[in-house]
Structure 1
Amino acid sequence: MPQTAPQGRPPVSVYGTLSALAAIMFFGFMTIGMPLPVIPVYVHKTLGYGAVTVGVAVGIQSFVTLLLRSFAGRTVDTRGPKAAVLTGLCGCATAGAFYGVAALMNVPSASLAVLLAGRVVLGFGESLILTGGMSWGIGLLGPSHASKAISWQGIAMYSALATGAPVGAYLLQEAGFGIVALVTIALPVIAFGLALRVPAAPAAGGKRLPFHRVVGLVWRPGLAMTLGSIGYAVIAAFITLFYASRGWSGAAFALTLYSGCFIGMRVVFAHAIDHFGGKRVAMLSLIFNVVGQGLLWSAGHPHMALAGAALTGIGFSLVFPALGVEALKSVPAQSRGSALAAYSAFFDLALGLIGPMAGFVASAFGYSSIFLCGAMGGLAAIAMIARLPKPPLSDAEPAKGDALASTAPATREPGA
């Protein structure tokens, strides 16, 4: 039988809530995934700008997202995750409106300026829906389901990015940039409607920590996650060039295999973090990651490279949620949004720094050498995780001292 919710709250279905939030994140992040292949083509071929401008147009969104992590965490902690997500979705729809205005202009410089404004607004929206989505799931279901909340959001995000890119490219080719803009407006509107139907998470009372203090509490799992992300980043950025340097075909299949293993692990084994703990799952996962990167480094045949890509996908899949759970143990419940924002910023940092650094390594030592760096990063991450300090008992055991646990509604599994 479902538990009786405190203060008259109805029982909350774990997987029903996770599915609803995942749908919101999927439509929200489609807004981010669709422009990825579209913006470079539009800026270069339609507006006539070069590679540097293309890079700015693509990268400015992620830069803004990183800069606004503190703002997003504070918004989630003070206004609540539902309000943060709704505001972020409005930002995503506004970005689509900017794209539409840019498409209507006949002056390339004006179109570019409006487009860049849209990319800035999209970075604002992404920062809020990313942090708010994770916090919303944890707030509704309680800290015992934190790993599921983070994992399911990751599945929705990666699925949206993988789906959005080809959809965006198809719409640009068949209907033009204006249609891409209209769809970019419609998708967050759909997500907004879904979000209105999901109850708000109860707020956690108490004094909130300054963001710099939160960063000081979560930097160890955050840095370990950054080191463990090297394998993911180098596969995403360089697997195609690595295959080409060996004269092999099938790089796209390697990416597909990596993504399939990544998502499959999230779906099937997300509960393992709850049973075995974030540290154990992260360390075991990174062992697979290290082996996968080692296979890619030493690959003398495409099949060996495919096995390496698959093992890397298996190995990195649970690292982010597992270490995220460890990061949350270090902060009080009323600063959980800031903790998720600070922790996620380490992943932003990884994606921003690893690509250029790996490019320098590949130029000096060849493309296979970047996978050796990925393996070494995984080993360093394992060593850091093993030395993570034990959190205070009240934070480590939410049932005894977690303010959020005491205010979360009762949960039930489907069919309970």
Structure 2
Amino acid sequence: MTVPVKRLWVAVLCGYLAFGAALQALPTYVPQRFGGGPLASGTAIGIAFLATACARPFAGWLADGGRSRPVVLVGAALTAVGAVGQMTAPNLPLLLVARLVMGAGEAGLFSAALPWVLAGTRTAQRGRVAGWFGLSMWGGLAGGPLIASLTGDLVWWTMVALAGTSMTLVLTTRRTHGPTEPLARIRDLAPSGVPLPGAIIGLAAYCYGTIAALLVLRLRAGEIGADDYALTVFAAAFLITRFAGSPLVDRYGGRAVAAWTVGLEIVALTGIAIADSTAGALASTALAGLGLALIYPACISMTLDRVRGMRPGVSMGVMTSFWDLGVMAAGPVGGLVAEQFGFPAAFIVAAHAAAASLVLCLAFLRPRRATSPR
């Protein structure tokens, strides 16, 4: 069976570019159109990740049974419906519903596509391939804010067009006839090897969620500047590091890479909290992108090592759900902290979440022996 890897990569990229564009647009759009402060904006951003967290394990569960294509197709369709809903929502509650629909779509789009791609990948290359294919998702999340900045008032139409392109690409994917296997028991949606890597990535995700929801507002409130392109700086650092650094996961192991990257994130978030100049804020933002770039392939590697090939789709879906939960929590929690104590305090809280992730990584996960480069 030939997997349409390139077409799937582009389809996921387009879907997540639409998703990422909303991260830039919503912090301004929600107060201007519906009223409210950081709490309302953070909730609008974070609630989509609630849907992704709930849907990812089921998407992976179905993918493990050979049903990747229909799940990816449904995910692309929901992404398009959610994009239209956000553009046309007349009030905040309906906007939140549209965000939930789009979040569920993004879960199906990526979490069924990744196990489809990894099904034909050699064990020794899984970290590298997961990192490369993950660029479709993370590239969209990182590049979407740039698209939002460039398109201005047309951002919502652009999101709809990107989501529609994603759906078209999946619809025109050639039907494959791989084996359809009996689905695992529903109680197997919680593989035993997942919680520790999940907790590590979930805490790191809180850091990302704080940046996505509050960085623009932090820079504006502090009159630091660069609020129009700071997320682009984050995106550039993230993408360059992910592209160049993914092979490090296979070479040194997920635990070592995760520990180093989360350590950098502590420094970066503290820097954003105390920054009082454009240069300092942008340097810390770039460091944050570098620090978060490899946490996903590192945790994929740790997860697959711990579950030893059993139900990889479910395992990766559940692990990624921890990421979604972390981002979801960061929006409203970070927004509430910012309203009560100021934006720097919200980033200090995120730095403590990164520190907790580092402690878990160092204390509870056994190191993996490094492999020699080939």
> Normalized against structure 1, the TM-score is what?
0.72
Alpha-carbon offset, residue 24 of structure 1:
2.5
Residue equivalent to 1:264: 240
Alpha-carbon offset, residue 254 of structure 1:
2.9
Q: Distance in 2 between matches of 1:165 and 1:352?
A: 18
Question: Where does the alignment leave 5 or more consecutive residues of structure 1 unmatched?
Answer: 1-8, 398-416
Alpha-carbon offset, residue 189 of structure 1:
0.6
Residue equivalent to 2:71: 84
Residue equivalent to 2:167: 188
Q: Say whether the 8 Å CA contact 1:18–1:149 is kept in structure 2.
A: no
Going from structure 1 to structure 2, the CA distance change for 1:200 and 1:320 (only over 3 Å counts) comes to farther
Alpha-carbon offset, residue 275 of structure 1:
0.5
The correspondence for 1:68, drawn from 55, 58, 61, is 55
Deviations 1:7-39 (A, max 9, x none): xx78x9xxxx76444223113334544666788
Alpha-carbon offset, residue 206 of structure 1:
10
Alpha-carbon offset, residue 202 of structure 1:
6.7
The correspondence for 2:138, drawn from 143, 153, 158, is 158
The correspondence for 1:276, drawn from 234, 252, 255, is 252
Paired letter, 1:297: A
Deviations 1:306-344 (A, max 9, x none): 221111111111012101211122225341111111111
Alpha-carbon offset, residue 260 of structure 1:
0.7
Aligned pairs for 1:10-159 (under 5 A) are: 19-33=6-20, 61-93=48-80, 121-159=101-139
Q: Percent identity?
A: 24
Going from structure 1 to structure 2, the CA distance change for 1:246 and 1:271 (only over 3 Å counts) comes to same
The correspondence for 2:287, drawn from 311, 323, 330, is 311
Paired letter, 1:22: W
Greater Rg, structure 1 or structure 2?
A: 1
SS of match in other structure, 1:251: coil
Deviations 1:266-301 (A, max 9, x none): 001111001000001111111221222232333343
Aligned pairs for 1:339-354 (under 5 A) are: 339-354=315-330
Q: Say whether the 8 Å CA contact 2:143–2:232 is kept in structure 1.
A: no
Q: Distance in 2 between matches of 1:167 and 1:224?
A: 30
Q: Say whether the 8 Å CA contact 2:46–2:330 is kept in structure 1.
A: no
Paired letter, 1:269: G
Q: Distance in 1 between matches of 2:344 and 2:29?
A: 33
Residue equivalent to 2:350: 374
Q: Say whether the 8 Å CA contact 2:16–2:140 is kept in structure 1.
A: yes
Going from structure 1 to structure 2, the CA distance change for 1:175 and 1:139 (only over 3 Å counts) comes to closer
Q: Distance in 1 between matches of 2:142 and 2:71?
A: 25
Going from structure 1 to structure 2, the CA distance change for 1:192 and 1:148 (only over 3 Å counts) comes to farther
Q: Distance in 2 between matches of 1:307 and 1:161?
A: 20
SS of match in other structure, 1:330: helix
Q: Say whether the 8 Å CA contact 2:63–2:71 is kept in structure 1.
A: yes
Q: Say whether the 8 Å CA contact 1:81–1:132 is kept in structure 2.
A: yes
Q: Say whether the 8 Å CA contact 1:278–1:323 is kept in structure 2.
A: yes
Deviations 1:114-144 (A, max 9, x none): x887655544432211211221221121332
Q: Say whether the 8 Å CA contact 1:29–1:161 is kept in structure 2.
A: yes
Q: RMSD in angstroms over aligned alpha carbons?
A: 4.1
Q: Say whether the 8 Å CA contact 1:224–1:385 is kept in structure 2.
A: yes
SS of match in other structure, 1:233: helix
Residue equivalent to 1:358: 334
Question: Where does the alignment leave 5 or more consecutive residues of structure 2 unmatched?
Answer: none
Asked if residue 213 in structure 1 is aligned to residue 193 in structure 2, the reply is no
Residue equivalent to 1:329: 305
Q: Distance in 1 between matches of 2:98 and 2:336?
A: 32
Alpha-carbon offset, residue 187 of structure 1:
3.5
Aligned length: 367
Q: Larger deviation: 17-26 or 330-339?
A: 17-26
> Normalized against structure 2, the TM-score is what?
0.79
Aligned pairs for 1:221-240 (under 5 A) are: 221-240=197-216
